[in-house]
Amino acid sequence: MFFHVKELQYRAKPDKPDAVYARKLQEVLGGQFGEISVMMQYLFQGWNCRAEQKYRDMLLDIGTEEIAHVEMLATMIAQLLDKAPVEEQEQAAQDPIIASAMGGMNPQHAIVNGLGASPNDSNGYPWNARYTIASGNLLADFRANLNAESQGRLQVVRLYEMTEDKGVRDMLSFLIARDTYHQNQWAAAIAELEEKEGLVVPSTFNREYEKSDVAYTFMSCSEGTESEQGRWASGPSMDGLSEFKYEAKPVATGQAPHLNPAPGYIHDTPLSDKETK
């Protein structure tokens, strides 16, 4: 059960409207690594969690916080759209190049959303549930979460640099700080699970079924040997179970592919007489 508190988690009030920046801010609302994505990802990971209760509780805690971040961004975008598209049209009237794109604002903010935010990215592409990961394996999922927070923080920092609005920057500074914590949180949870389960996902698979001779080999499949200088090419493997080795020119051990002709009703290109012999 969820309850809504009328006050925002943190201030979301720009110094002045900026319809062009409102479009940019849509990316961290409805983009691949936006707040809607992490909100849905954490909530579904929590709702589907069959592991220890502490993991379920933690996931739902942070997922619920992300709802608050969605609300903050939507509120900020709506205020950035105040007086739009009038101001943008007035500016466009002075510059025919700007007129072609209404000054760079997203026309749907006015036409479709009534000067409000939408669950889309900065180019108007709709948010997609395919952005989210909830596999049931917490180590795999938490690594995806760490990546999501890393990419999200990167984008918010870039957006911070794209505005001088103190009110916008104030809100973004809060989101950046929360992303700092969330990266640390997922790193801590990953370390805890790795200590229990090991480095490689899934830990329940019988390693005897692996082709062990290539399980710790770096295969150099391009020209040059610079990659041999990396930590991944020599020394103890990260899981502590073997040694990395470097293979400069990996040898192909499979067959040359040859596919049987398709039946006539598929209407593929027929083989030549030479090929059928």
Q: Which of 68, 80, 70, 83 is nearest to 4 (CA)?
A: 68
Cite the annotated binding site by residue number.
Answer: 35, 57, 61, 66, 69, 149, 182, 222, 224
Tell me the binding residues for Ca(2+).
57, 61, 222, 224
Q: Quote the Cα angle for 95-96-100, to 5°.
A: 120
Residue pointed to by tokens 């700092």: 180
Pairing of strands 243-247, 217-219: parallel
Hey, what are 235's tokens? 């020394």
Q: Which residues does the annotation place in the binding site for Mn(2+)? A: 35, 66, 69, 149, 182
Q: DSSP string spanning 206-248? A: -GGGS-GGGTTEEE--SS-SGGGGSTTSSEE-TTSSSEEEEES
| CB-based burial label for 36 (10 Å; 0-12, 13-18, 19+) | buried
